Each structure stands twice: as C-alpha cells, then as structure tokens.
C-alpha cells in the first residue's frame, strides 16, 4: 500500500509536467470560481490552448493513433489531468466533443467524415455539443419526441432540445430524434450529427437560478424548425438511436465527477477564522460535529478515487465504487454552502466580494443543479441499486406500448 507512481507512471508524469511548465503557468493557489472573462475571450484562449496541445500531441490522449491520439491508458489520462489541473489553463469547452462526440464519430461515421471532422475537433477549431435531453424527457431521456421525417435523401427535424451545454458556441452537435412514434419507445429513435449553423436551428440560453446564462459552458434550449439533415449524417442504422446514445451516455457518466466548489478545506478555514460571539466557530460543538461528517465524506471520496486509480494503475477494471462520487459530493457541496451562508448570520445573504462569503453562496446556488445534471440523485440511486446491487428494475407503465400510446398527462 503506497501512493507512489510506478517508474513508468513517474516518467510519464515528468514528461507531462515538463511540457506544461514550458507552455503554461502554474496556478498560484487553488481557484474555485473562474474569474468571469467575456465569452469571446474565453473561447479564444481555450481554442489556442487546445491547438497548442494538439501540436504537441496532448490534445486527445486516449484517441486511437490513426486519429491523432496516443492511445493513452486510463491511468495516463488521469496523470495528465492531475498535472494539467495544476496549471492556469482554460477548460470546459472541448470535453463533450473529445469525450462523447469524437468516440461516436469514430465508431459510426464514414471514413470521409472521420477525416473531415475529427482533426478540427481535436485541434479546437470546431466545437461540438450533445443534443439529447428534452423538456419532456430528462431522466427518461428515451421518451424524447423531437421528430425526424424522411424526405428524399434528407431528414426533416422538428422539436426542441434542452440543457444543451455550449450549444450557443458549438459548430456541430450529436442528436437523437424519433423517426417512428408507432414503434416502442426505445425502438423508434435514430441518431445524427448536425451542423449547428443549419437553417431552422435557434439557440436560446437558459437563465439559471444562479442568474447566469450563456457564460462559460452554460445551458441552452435548442429549437429545430424544419431543419434539414442529409441521411449521410445518420450515425448507426435507422432505429438504432438508443444503442448509439447509450454508448455516449456511458462516456458522460465517466466524465461527470466531483461537484467542484467549497469543500471541507473552506469549511475548516472558515471555522478557524470566523468568530461568533467572541469565539471561533470551531469551538462550537454543532460545528465540530458537522466538520467531522464532511471530513468523513470528503476523505472517503478522495480515497475512493485512489482505489479506482489503483485498479487502473494495475491494468485492472475498477470496481463500481466510483458510482457514489457525484451523489455524495453534490450533497456535501450544498450542505457546506449552507453552513457558510449561515455563518454570516444576517449578513450571510448579502453579496459582497470582500466578505469571503461568495464561494459559499456560489456552492449553495450551484449545488441544486449538480444534484440533477448528469443523472439526478434519484436516478443515480437507481443505477447503484440495479447495476451494482443487481436489484430489479421498476415495472414500467410504458413497456410494450407504441410510443404514441404512452400516457403523458392525467
């Protein structure tokens, strides 16, 4: 039992580190909230950084060599991620493309399409998004109802997508739609990729409870009005949309990790420095008990991650333990955010950049979204119960019905 790299891993880490030091700046300190720069500036620096990484071979480590990757092992991706995270570099723009859209294109598109799309994706020249969720299809995403109708060699798409990260600055997107409502829910779906500049597509940023909209990788609604997609942009067979989507969603579940933000460190620092009636908060028994609980959760998650990395490091498949990460971290974030605001008493609600309260307010406002995005707490509990513990699925009221006959309203 140790926390050391193997000699090969240490060598790989040193290579990562050397390149990063030559090309980026170390973070002075842990930064939780990105300082808001304009979207254009953020995109520009993100694209430049991506191109730089591409030129040096760091852009998409896990991709096959034929598409410009180095077929890095999972542990090498983790090492690169750990090292890159120590540097002040832009992120959050290309993850969906490189993590989900790229692999789907590799598996299902034609040679010609692979040659056309994969390199610009990896170079950061073209940004991709994922168009799955709909207003009436969230956790039950296979219940989506955007329509695809065949018209000669084209398909005509009508409907609405929602919660599409980065749609407002994306060049392309992957899309699941319903080509036949007479078939059962999962059978009537077909998968495409689409040019986001196509006539008939309207992108509207969603204003979130944080008050933000469209900043960073913000969410959008995407409307399709008679959008024409050539059949050549279909990925997989007609009716295979669910199968293709599942492959992509598996990648999303891997990509969605910790809920980042105020954590036990911030709670502890606050408790040691902030006073209440002349005594630091940490002297309060109620605070002490909560610190102990958060530490057990934070430390438990940290070493859960280490167990996963240890398995990968030995070339073994990791156990299912990583499935607890988001549910535990998002709830802890909400609880710590709440604690921080409470610590300010009546002033806790006031927004004042100098009060030290903003990271707790940010955590408290952002946490409800993190408990939903990438699988709600409830869906994740179902996933643990069904896939890890092997319990049966709930009986489904829509089983065996044609999609058009599935009850939707009382």
Torsion of CA 149, 155, 161, 167, to 10 degrees: -170
Q: Quick check: 275 binds another protein (CB under 8 A)?
A: no
- Nearest-Å Rg of the Cα atoms of the chain is 23
- Which of 44, 288, 399, 404 is close enough to bind another protein by CB under 8 A? 288
Of 16-24, 133-141, 218-226, 319-327: span binding another protein (CB under 8 A)? 319-327
Provide, rounded to whole angstroms, the least separation between the CB of residue 300 and another protein. Answer: 3
Provide, rounded to whole angstroms, the least separation between the CB of residue 188 and another protein. Answer: 26
- Which of 7, 152, 211, 392 is close enough to bind another protein by CB under 8 A? 392
Q: Quick check: 72 binds another protein (CB under 8 A)?
A: no
Residue 128 sits at φ, ψ, to 5 deg, of -120, 150
Of 66-74, 171-179, 216-224, 304-312: span binding another protein (CB under 8 A)? 304-312
Provide, rounded to whole angstroms, the least separation between the CB of residue 386 and another protein. Answer: 7
Q: Quick check: 8 binds another protein (CB under 8 A)?
A: no
Give whichever of 291 and 367 is closer to another protein, judged by the CB atom: 291
Please state, in angstroms and as integers, the Cα–Cα distance from residue 359 to each residue in 38, 348, 368, 374, following that order.
20, 12, 15, 23
Residue 73 sits at φ, ψ, to 5 deg, of -75, 160
- Which of 35, 112, 152, 314 is close enough to bind another protein by CB under 8 A? 314
Paired tokens of 223: 């409307």
Whether the CB-CB separation of 116 and 159 falls below 8 Å is answered with: no
Q: Which residues in 206-305 belong to E strands, given as ranges?
A: 220-230, 275-276, 279-280
Q: Quick check: 56 binds another protein (CB under 8 A)?
A: no
Paired tokens of 338: 């709440």
Of 15-23, 56-64, 225-233, 296-304: span binding another protein (CB under 8 A)? 296-304
Please state, in angstroms and as integers, the Cα–Cα distance from residue 266 to each residue in 262, 296, 371, following that order.
6, 15, 20
- Which of 44, 150, 307, 399 is close enough to bind another protein by CB under 8 A? 307
Paired tokens of 147: 């329509």
Which residue pairs from 308-314 have beta carbons closer than 8 angstroms and sit at least 24 positions apart in sequence? 309/75, 309/78, 312/73, 312/74, 312/75, 312/78, 313/6, 313/9, 313/75
Q: Quick check: 265 binds another protein (CB under 8 A)?
A: yes
Provide, rounded to whole angstroms, the least separation between the CB of residue 296 and another protein. Answer: 4
Paired tokens of 132: 């799955």
Give whichever of 316 and 353 is closer to another protein, judged by the CB atom: 316
158: helix, coil or strand?
A: strand
**Interacting residues with another protein (CB under 8 A):** 1-5, 9, 82, 263-265, 268, 272, 282, 288-289, 291-293, 295-304, 306-307, 309-311, 313-314, 321, 324, 327-328, 378, 380-382, 384-386, 388-395
């Amino acid at each position: 039992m140790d926390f050391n790299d193997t000699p090969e891993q240490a060598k790989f880490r040193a290579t990562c580190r050397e390149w990063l030091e030559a090309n980026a700046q170390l973070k002075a300190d842990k930064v939780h909230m990105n300082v808001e720069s304009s979207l254009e500036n953020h995109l520009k620096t993100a694209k430049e950084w991506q191109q730089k990484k591409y030129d040096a071979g760091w852009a998409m480590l896990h991709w096959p060599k034929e598409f410009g990757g180095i077929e890095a092992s999972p542990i090498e991706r983790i090492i690169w991620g750990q090292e890159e995270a120590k540097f002040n570099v832009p992120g959050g723009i290309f993850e969906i493309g490189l993590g989900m859209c790229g692999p789907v294109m590799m598996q299902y598109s034609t040679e010609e399409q692979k040659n056309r799309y994969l390199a610009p994706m990896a170079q950061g020249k073209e940004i991709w998004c994922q168009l799955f969720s709909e207003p009436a299809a969230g956790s039950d995403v296979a219940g989506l109802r955007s329509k695809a109708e065949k018209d000669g060699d084209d398909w005509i798409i009508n409907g609405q997508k929602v919660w599409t990260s980065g749609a407002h600055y994306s060049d392309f997107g992957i899309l699941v739609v319903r080509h036949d409502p007479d078939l059962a829910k999962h059978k009537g779906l077909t998968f495409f990729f689409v040019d986001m500049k196509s006539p008939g597509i309207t992108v509207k940023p969603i204003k979130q409870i944080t008050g933000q909209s469209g900043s960073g990788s913000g969410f959008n609604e995407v409307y399709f009005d008679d959008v024409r997609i050539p059949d050549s942009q279909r990925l997989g067979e007609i009716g295979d949309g669910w199968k293709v989507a599942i492959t992509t969603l598996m990648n999303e579940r891997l990509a969605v990790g910790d809920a980042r933000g105020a954590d036990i460190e911030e709670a502890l620092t606050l408790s040691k420095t902030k006073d209440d009636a002349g005594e630091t908060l940490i002297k309060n028994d109620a605070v002490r008990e909560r610190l102990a609980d958060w530490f057990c959760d934070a430390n438990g998650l940290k070493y859960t991650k280490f167990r996963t990395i240890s398995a990968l490091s030995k070339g073994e498949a990791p156990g299912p333990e990583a499935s607890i990460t988001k549910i535990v971290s998002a709830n802890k974030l909400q609880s710590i955010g709440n604690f921080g605001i409470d610590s300010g008493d009546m002033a806790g609600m006031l927004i004042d950049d100098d009060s030290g309260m903003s990271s707790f307010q940010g955590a408290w406002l952002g946490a409800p979204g993190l408990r939903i995005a990438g699988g709600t707490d409830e869906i994740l509990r179902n996933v643990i119960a069904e896939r890890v513990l092997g319990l049966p699925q709930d009986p489904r009221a829509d089983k065996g019905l044609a999609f058009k006959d599935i009850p939707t309203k009382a």
